[in-house]
Structure 1
Amino acid sequence: MLSPLARVFSSAALLVLFAAGCGGGDTHPSPSDPAQPLKVVATTTQVADFARNVGGDRVRVHQLLRPNVDPHDYEPSPADMKAIAEADVLVKNGVGLEKWLDETISAAGFDGPVVDASQGVPIRDGDPHIWHNPLNVKTMAATIERAFAAADPRDTAAYQANRAAYDAKLDALDGEISKKIESVPADRRTLVTNHDAFGYYLDRYKLTFVGSIIPSFDTSAELSAKQVADLVAEIKATGVVAIFSEASLPPKTAEAVGREAGVTVVAGQDALYGDSLGPEGSAGATYLQMEEHNTDTIVNALRGTAA
């Protein structure tokens, strides 16, 4: 009997084949055709945002993961499979985040270039959350730019200009985050989060990680009763003033730990964006907005000031 995921792949693959058969003798325009944008599939909300910034109006991006959806919960839709089958370039985050991707690509029959945006990024112990350091994003954007230029040489200059403009915004973001974090007293620069998603941010901006509700990079992991007790004790011992919930994860366990430890839990609209950007119109709709929101939320909570 087929597994639920295998049934999704089977149905989606049949739809792709049916759509291709109904196309008759039509051929897809060359990606170098100036009238046609490059067809890009991007896996995560973050790399989709980077691809749009680098590609501008010369790309059409199909994003596989939806805002505030845990990457570990993804199942491909027929529309996703069709977009992958017809893509000129596929961009992934890498570092093992998209464990479902190889099977999805195979089922869709895609044989084009797969761009690993993590190439050249210093990886910390297999942690896939590389985007939480804006300097890493500059490396990711450069990798995406080179891939787009290889697939569409005619527009190389446009991709280079777009990437340079985005680099300037990332440098400005990095400077702003540093300044804001430095405004927090050194003994209050501690972080407790839903899961271990902010290591690159912590390393870059010199914050101390006390612990997480889910003791793993993977949100499917669970905290044992002893681990909960140990975390509560550590929170009390280190003087942590807040626990930060994440927008893509339920805050129930974090709130329970917060009550036990006697500290504030930052959740709801103020929750951090960890694994995913937020929907359009939210405080985390783009990468730049997400990191600004996260930083303001962290700083306000650690300083004890109103948002």
Structure 2
Amino acid sequence: MLALLGGCGTDGGNTATADNPSSGTQLAVVATTPEVADFVRNVGGGDVAVTQIIKPNVDPHDYEPTPADIQAIGTARVVVKNGVGLEEWLERTIESAGFKGAVVDSSQGVTLREGGHAHEEGEEAGEEHADGEEEHDPHIWHDPRNAKIMVANIEKALATAAPARAAAFARNAADYTAKLDKLDADNEAAFAKIPVQRRKLVTNHDAFGYYVDRYKIEFVGSVIPSLDTSAELSARQLNDLVARIKSTGTTAIFTESSLPPKSAEAIAQQAGVKVIGGEDALYGDSLGADGTPQGTYLGAEQHNTQVITSALAG
């Protein structure tokens, strides 16, 4: 892979071969998160070589780049990120790598949620940054309509980097966008079968805001009262969450694949509800292991909807 990336480096001498489909040289692309990497693979097909920085079930909020990450970025033509502040480490890593190619923010054009549900409820977490700017929810991919925007941004960037392959990228993007439309329709149909009063969600952290808004679910609260995973519940917040779970008739707490379930299990015991975890843990920040159905965006989102609707249906 490193040899391949080296052959598609940022120096101008390689530009012609990277843009020439007949040369057999793939376009070297670095993607930050599992979700973004999956989108790039689907749009790029065999014309791109994707290096994925954050591996499955790794928390992106606390990620620390490695020397291998810096080397991969330094030899890439394009870097694709999720954006919305999810990759706070990326800018300094790009500087360290001496990267001179295109940085693609796949979130461009997405309507962002301000703050998290904790912020909306007036709790301590999810408020303003120290610089006074409003915090936005970075988990944009949980609404398939946003995923379509991300895919369109990626297609445009790849076509700019390799114009001779633009038609192939456009075909791939159109095929994948149709799959995203089907995912969205299937999700809507699944939740339509759940009575409104049973559509209540408690998760490890506040990662499902776009999903909740899209499918008209009531977000009761999260074990970690924050958009990222660094906060902890205060005693008051813990008691408030337990009280909300009981008063709303919530039946379960859903754990997430990239976070330990211990705190969720303790709160569930106190609230007298079940914990959905293990193989049924939701994919909040990550995708499943490579080679599994949940290792793709479509598979992970289908898994989330199946698990949530099955539990809410009782």
TM-score (structure 2 length as normaliser): 0.87
The alpha carbon displacement at 1:185 in A equals 1.3
Find the partner of 1:102 among 77, 83, 91. 91
Q: Where does 1:223-242 land on structure 2 (aligned, <5 Å)?
A: 223-242=233-252
In structure 1, C-alpha distance between the alignment counterparts of 2:210 and 2:264, rounded to whole Å? 22
The alpha carbon displacement at 1:281 in A equals 3.7
In structure 1, C-alpha distance between the alignment counterparts of 2:51 and 2:297, rounded to whole Å? 17
Find the partner of 2:205 among 159, 173, 195. 195
Per-residue CA deviations over 1:8-31 (Å, capped at 9, x if unaligned) read: xxxxxxxx9xxx9xx9xxx64642
Q: Report runs of 4+ in structure 1 exceeding 6 Å deviation.
A: none
2:300 counterpart of 1:290? yes
In structure 2, C-alpha distance between the alignment counterparts of 1:159 and 1:131, rounded to whole Å? 20
Structure-2 residue corresponding to 1:12 = none
The alpha carbon displacement at 1:291 in A equals 0.5
Structure-2 residue corresponding to 1:266 = 276
2:49 counterpart of 1:60? yes
Structure-1 residue corresponding to 2:120 = none
Equivalent position amino acid for 1:161 in 2: R
Structure-2 residue corresponding to 1:13 = none
Per-residue CA deviations over 1:92-136 (Å, capped at 9, x if unaligned) read: 000000000001000010011100000000000100000000010
Equivalent position amino acid for 2:187 in 1: I
Per-residue CA deviations over 1:160-212 (Å, capped at 9, x if unaligned) read: 00000001000000000000011111110010000000000001000010100
In structure 1, C-alpha distance between the alignment counterparts of 2:98 and 2:20, rounded to whole Å? 23
For residue 94 of structure 1, give the secondary structure of its aligned residue in structure 2: coil
Structure-1 residue corresponding to 2:31 = 42
Q: Where does 1:77-226 land on structure 2 (aligned, <5 Å)?
A: 77-125=66-114, 126-226=136-236
Equivalent position amino acid for 1:33 in 2: N
In the comparison of the two structures, how many residue pairs are matched?
A: 283
Q: Identity of paired residues, percent?
A: 60
Q: Is the 8 A contact 2:206 2:224 kept in 1?
A: yes
Equivalent position amino acid for 2:20 in 1: D
Q: Is the 8 A contact 1:29 1:36 kept in 2?
A: no
Structure-2 residue corresponding to 1:11 = none
For residue 212 of structure 1, give the secondary structure of its aligned residue in structure 2: strand
The alpha carbon displacement at 1:73 in A equals 2.4
Q: CA RMSD in A?
A: 1.7
Question: Residues 256 and 283 (structure 1 numbering): CA distance in 2 closer, same or farther, change over 3 Å?
Answer: farther
The alpha carbon displacement at 1:145 in A equals 0.3
The alpha carbon displacement at 1:80 in A equals 1.4
In structure 2, C-alpha distance between the alignment counterparts of 1:75 and 1:123, rounded to whole Å? 25
Per-residue CA deviations over 1:141-162 (Å, capped at 9, x if unaligned) read: 0000000000000001000000
For structure 2, list consecutive stretches of 5 or more residues without a partner in the other structure: 115-135
For residue 283 of structure 2, give the secondary structure of its aligned residue in structure 1: coil
Equivalent position amino acid for 1:57 in 2: G
Equivalent position amino acid for 2:140 in 1: I
Q: Is the 8 A contact 2:65 2:89 kept in 1?
A: no
TM-score (structure 1 length as normaliser): 0.89
For structure 1, list consecutive stretches of 5 or more residues without a partner in the other structure: 1-15
For residue 272 of structure 1, give the secondary structure of its aligned residue in structure 2: coil
Equivalent position amino acid for 2:313 in 1: R
